[in-house]
Amino acid sequence: MFFKLLFFITFYFYKVFFRYKKNLKLKYFDFNTFPCSQVNLKKNIENGLFRNSDFNQRINQLKIRGNKNLIISLNSLKWLFFLSAINNFNSRKNTEYLFKKLKIIDENFSFLVWRPDIAGSRLLSFCLNINYLKLTNILSNTILIAELLVVHVLYLNICKLFIPKGLLRLRINMGIFFCSFLLIELPIGRNKILKEILKDLNFLLNNGEKIRNSSDLLEILFFINRIMKFSTTSDFSNGQLDKKFKNFQNIICPLLKGLSFGNGLLVRSRESSGFSIYCELEKELSDADITNYSIIKNPIGFIRIKTKKLTLFFDEKTEFKTQDSKEFMCSAFSFEITSGDIPFLQNNTSFSCYFGNSDEILFLKNQMNTLGINIQDKNSNETFFKSKVREVKQYRDLRNNYLECEKEISFNEVTLSYNREIQLSFTGKKILGKERISLNQTSKKDYFFYLPFYFHPDVEIWQSDNSSNFLLKIKNNEIWRFETDKKDILLENYKFLDPLDLEIKNGKRIILFSNFGQKEQLFNWKLYL
């Protein structure tokens, strides 16, 4: 309600001071938003968007009204990065249609459309894709567009006064910074904006809580790279600020290297897709031209174990709370594995952006390779889940790497202790897992736990006559075996969101499950070559 009132005040201010100001000029600027490097991302995106012949028909029949997720996603304008990457006749026409459908330029107001995070994202997306928009009919009235950008800047400048230090305020400041290149008469100096950006970066990367979202880190590096590239000496106060930004590049790049599998993708965890809609990992690392070339082995709450064959990422810190849910899964103790650069076991996380071959992109749940809890009681409407990490140990001997960890999950007066032990050989040919689930009391049978293993869609899986044994073939033709002493086990399909082509694909998952009928349950599993 506060930000709604704030908007109306800002909008009235705009009407008073810009009613007769018709000399606003709009300058076009190429921020090199969507480059192509090792991976031909433009082609992949084009395939993902336009492979279905009915895409243009679906987008023209798009019903936005009443769909909160769709309203938020479309009004953020993040989809502009995809369409600008394609930059053909179809993409331009669909861009024009969506702008007309959204009525952003018509000075319409709703709380969702002008929520600070949505308005900030919209300003960023608009400015960074201005050269692409120039090729459409959207910018035919440059005065109207310039006024729209001024409204965003005025509104967000006031909003950020009430927003604490963090990623949201950083994005807002970045949007204002890039907008200053487009609006010649913008009454805000870039030097002042840069100092505010430095404060946000310092909070996020030095003094505040560490950012554990790999996609957010890549996005921040993207911003810094463009600050370093397009700012002038006067913007940097004659060389006083550029050294500080260079220092942040040297902080972020080793983190990103430590979170990378080597195939262009980053680790996935809660709220992180391992993929940025703005940019590519290798291109941004190269553009940074850093002096610190190290790789952080255990970056910001992840344990990274690299063997001769496998790379494993283990989430050791995420703590999570949720309410009004009948299913709970926290990413703490989840893990991902690649064989060389080939994806093997992978968490399945959604994107915050609409587009792709399916509208399901908006509704996919985060699915992790860790313990999940399901409540089947139809009368249970409000369940408060809480997860807390107790202990994580990492050590090694002459042959193996070891991980031992414990976390506590509380819900409906039930306290559950989950212990996971993982043993990974130095050769990378064998992984052993031990799971222990302990309850403070015998619980109802309408609660059950499940332990999933989400395999990449490229992995082929066959279940043997013995239901506890499986054969797996990955893309490099390696044949792996999965075995467990657990008898309650399923092999089923799941929907995987592929970040390289934005498609929903069918993958296979192995699920171990059991009711909460015992105070303690132990079981083992083995994955070996």
Instruction: Write out the two tokens for 36.
Output: 């192509």
| For residue 527, pLDDT beyond 70 | yes
pLDDT at residue 298 in the model: 73
Say how far apart CA 37 and CA 523 lie, in whole Å.
Answer: 45
Q: Last residue of some domain: 245, 278, 297?
A: 297
Residue 39 — pLDDT band, cuts 50, 70, 90? very low
Identify the H or E element spanning 132: helix 130-133
Q: Last residue of some domain: 242, 275, 297?
A: 297
pLDDT at residue 37 in the model: 46
Write the pLDDT tens digit of every residue in 159-203. Answer: 888 888 888 999 999 999 999 889 877 667 788 899 999 999 998
| For residue 20, pLDDT beyond 60 | no
Instruction: Write out the two tokens for 310.
Output: 């496998």
What CATH number is given to the structural domain containing 391?
A: 2.70.98.70
Greatest extent of the chain over all pairs of C-alpha atoms, in Å: 80
The residue among 122 and 30 whose pLDDT is bigger is 122
Question: CB neighbours (10 Å) of residue 214?
Answer: 28
| For residue 24, pLDDT beyond 80 | no
Q: Where do runs of H (alpha helix) occur along 367-468?
A: none
pLDDT at residue 151 in the model: 83
Q: Is 229 helix (H, G, I), strand (E, B) or coil?
A: helix
Question: CB neighbours (10 Å) of residue 55?
Answer: 17
Q: Last residue of some domain: 276, 297, 318?
A: 297
pLDDT at residue 177 in the model: 93
Position of tokens 């592929």?
498
Contact 47, 501 (CB under 8 A): yes
Q: Which residues contact 374 (CB under 8 A, 6 or more apart)?
A: 326, 327, 447, 448, 449, 450
85 inside domain: no
How long is the chain?
529
Q: Which residues contact 382 (CB under 8 A, 6 or more apart)?
A: 323, 324
Q: Is 504 helix (H, G, I), strand (E, B) or coil?
A: strand
pLDDT at residue 53 in the model: 44
Domain containing residue 236: 190-297
Q: Where do runs of H (alpha helix) occur along 211-279?
A: 214-230, 242-258
Write the pLDDT tens digit of every residue in 243-289. Answer: 899 999 998 999 888 888 877 788 887 667 777 767 788 888 888 88
CA 317 to chain centre: 17
DSSP 87-116: -SHHHHHHHHHHHHHHTTTTT---TTTT-H
350 inside domain: yes
pLDDT at residue 64 in the model: 54
DSSP 189: -
Nearest residue to 147 (alpha-carbon basis) of 250, 16, 270: 16
Nearest residue to 346 (alpha-carbon basis) of 313, 298, 388: 313
Instruction: Write out the two tokens for 18.
Output: 């810009």
Query: Within this chain, do residues 488 and 374 fall inside the same structural domain, yes or no?
Result: yes
* Residue-wise burial string across 21-49, b where 16 or more C-beta atoms lie within 10 A, e elsewhere: eeebebeeeebebbeebebebbebbbbbb
Query: Within this chain, do residues 284 and 329 fall inside the same structural domain, yes or no?
Result: no
- Please give the tally of structural domains in the chain: 2
Instruction: Write out the two tokens for 480.
Output: 């792996």
pLDDT at residue 479 in the model: 95
429 inside domain: yes
Say how far apart CA 420 and CA 358 lie, in whole Å.
Answer: 36
Contact 355, 82 (CB under 8 A): yes
* Residue-wise burial string across 131-165, b where 16 or more C-beta atoms lie within 10 A, e elsewhere: ebbeebebbeeeeebbbbbbbbbbbbebbbeeeeb
Query: Within this chain, do residues 351 and 460 fall inside the same structural domain, yes or no?
Result: yes
Which is it for the CA torsion 388, 390, 396, 402, positive or negative? negative
Contact 109, 11 (CB under 8 A): yes
**Mean pLDDT rounded to a whole number for the chain:** 81
| For residue 89, pLDDT beyond 70 | yes
Identify the H or E element spanning 484: strand 479-484
Beta bridge partners of 302: 315
Query: Within this chain, do residues 264 and 313 fall inside the same structural domain, yes or no?
Result: no
Distances (CA, A) of 105 to 8, 10, 100, 443: 16, 16, 8, 56
104 inside domain: no
The residue among 298 and 228 whose pLDDT is bigger is 228
382 inside domain: yes
Torsions phi, psi for 384 (to 5 deg)? -100, 115
340's torsion region: left (phi>0), alpha (psi -120 to 50) or beta? left
199 inside domain: yes
Instruction: Write out the two tokens for 317.
Output: 């810190």
pLDDT at residue 144 in the model: 81
| For residue 355, pLDDT beyond 60 | no
* Mean pLDDT of the 318-338 span: 82
Distances (CA, A) of 129 to 104, 265, 355: 16, 23, 17
pLDDT at residue 443 in the model: 61
* Mean pLDDT of the 295-324 span: 83
pLDDT at residue 173 in the model: 94
Say how far apart CA 172 and CA 175 lie, in whole Å.
Answer: 5
pLDDT at residue 367 in the model: 87
Distance spanning both ends of the chain, measured CA to CA:
58
Identify the H or E element spanning 283: helix 281-288
* Mean pLDDT of the 448-465 span: 92
169 inside domain: no
Query: Within this chain, do residues 312 and 292 fall inside the same structural domain, yes or no?
Result: no
Q: Which amino acid is at 227?
A: I
DSSP 267: P
Residue 364 — pLDDT band, cuts 50, 70, 90? low
Residue 404 — pLDDT band, cuts 50, 70, 90? very high
Cα dihedral 401, 371, 167, 305, rounded to 10, equals 10
CA angle 453-457-461, nearest 5°? 65
Return the percentage of the chain with pLDDT > 90, whole number.
Answer: 31
Query: Within this chain, do residues 469 and 509 fall inside the same structural domain, yes or no?
Result: yes
Query: Within this chain, do residues 351 and 489 fall inside the same structural domain, yes or no?
Result: yes
Query: Within this chain, do residues 376 and 309 fall inside the same structural domain, yes or no?
Result: yes
